[in-house]
Structure 1
Amino acid sequence: MRVNSKGQVTIPAELREKCGLHPGDEVDVVEEDGILRIVRRADGGTRGERLARRMRGTATGGMSTDQIMELLRGE
């Protein structure tokens, strides 16, 4: 891997898949005895929790809960 001019590196796809990292996951870079480690952020929450946080309060259109449920159930 190579560090670019912005200090960024790309984690290879096979490692992201193996470690279960997805776009939007939060990680920290930790230095231990001169070695840098990329670790999943402990307070990041699950992927679903992060998605729900991002989506919270973004719905528009004035649909009621019943209307949304009908739409989702195909009724």
Structure 2
Amino acid sequence: MTIPPEIQAHLKLQPGSRVEFIIDGSGAVKVLPLDISVANLAGILHRPDTPTVSIDEMNQAIQDEINHRA
């Protein structure tokens, strides 16, 4: 996979750098360099304007999407 140069620069990636892909609650994909500090990850998955949901609500949303795609 080739990551565009401007993204490489923003993430301070070098040849051989490792990245992780995370899908957040809204379905957006986040690309994280694996050598960043934990402090830089604070708040990456939760947005303050997004309500908290229970595990049961998450499971129901997953099931609803599976049913929708079937």
Same fold (TM over 0.5): no
Task: Give the TM-score normalised by structure 1.
Answer: 0.39
Task: Give the TM-score normalised by structure 2.
Answer: 0.41
